[in-house]
Structure 1
């Protein structure tokens, strides 16, 4: 598996968000429930390999940023493995009653790796009305860096109206803990702008993987 240096993006992202977002990259169910517009809090707990994770963040949602958050979730998983020369299939997404299920299979491009080498992402999102969502995620990585299993539960709840200084899509990390110890919190960001960055990074990484070829 060949290492690939992470790429940086120059220039202001905000100015190109509206022209770059366009249609979503994934075929989400048309009748996917929408989260109520306003301020949401997300609390994620679980295990990433041997590490205990606790992550609290808040974001301001409207209809557009709500849909963007779903896509950002999937792209984030793909982005976590693509620099290890791993390619992901289109995710399989389905809705049954109030539960959306997702599965994305990612495999290495190396000719020396087993056919099962890579990472499988599986998750469900249970919508409890429009003010509460519970996401359960179970992942398994084999024969790549950070191999092992991950399991997370993310509980999202509506808190009320967005603060006056927040616009739709704005996100703020409240707490990030690993094994009970507070770690680095990212500066305030925006879901829509972050979506543009993730799409660009994945596109460039795919081009590099294709140019270098499998090893």
Structure 2
């Protein structure tokens, strides 16, 4: 259950990754249906790849970027984004419960047809028994959203469907 929950959280963050606003703005993603595969880069074991689909339009993509920015303000003491040779490089230091996560990520792609993020993190104290972690996220635009989908809809690899915008609107306000 912990692995599924963390995979779900990773997928939610993957949707928001097109996003937290730092000193440099992330490019907006092309509206439509995106297929996002996340994993540890090896494709092996319980941390192997998970694939989800996400339907977005300009407003839902912006809302997810704003959500990522809010999460970053609440959890992170450092968030830096810079352009480096046609790629975006992110460095962050964030609190996850009692653990401090120090992460470095590199994003590449055009955000119209595909993008990729490779990240490495260290956890102090270890998070769920791990002192280090790596992940790879690959996203590709697959076409218009399906007829039964609305912006914000995500379909997880296990078939579970949720709407991130609805979840954001029902969470308690601070």
User: Using a 3 Å threshold, how does the CA distance of structure 1 residues 154 and 108 change in structure 2: closer, same or farther?
Assistant: closer
* 1:33–1:98 Cα contact (<8 Å) kept: no
Structure 1: runs of 5 or more not aligned = 1-23, 111-116, 176-184, 204-215
| Preserved contact between residue 39 and residue 162 of structure 1 (Cα < 8 Å) | yes
TM-aligned CA distance change 1:63 to 1:118, over 3 Å? same
Higher relative contact order (CA 8 A, sep 6+): 1
Equivalent position of 2:117 in the other structure: 135
Matched, 1:171 2:154: yes
Q: Which residue of 2 aligns with 1:120?
A: 102
Instruction: Normalising by structure 1, report the TM-score.
Output: 0.57
2:22 alignment counterpart: 27
- State the 1:54 CA deviation: 1.6
> Given the alignment of the two structures, is residue 42 of structure 1 paired with residue 30 of structure 2, yes or no?
no
C-alpha distance in 2 between matches for 1:47 and 1:132: 17
2:138 is aligned with 1:190: no
- Structure exhibiting the larger radius of gyration computed from Cα positions: 1
CA distance in 2, matches of 1:154, 1:96: 19
Greater strand fraction, Structure 1 or Structure 2: 2
Change (3 A) 1:131 1:138: same
Aligned residue pairs total 152
The question of 1:88 aligning with 2:70 is answered no
Deviations 1:49-86 (A, max 9, x none): x842321100111122223344555777x6xxx9xxxx
- With normalisation by structure 2, the TM-score equals 0.68
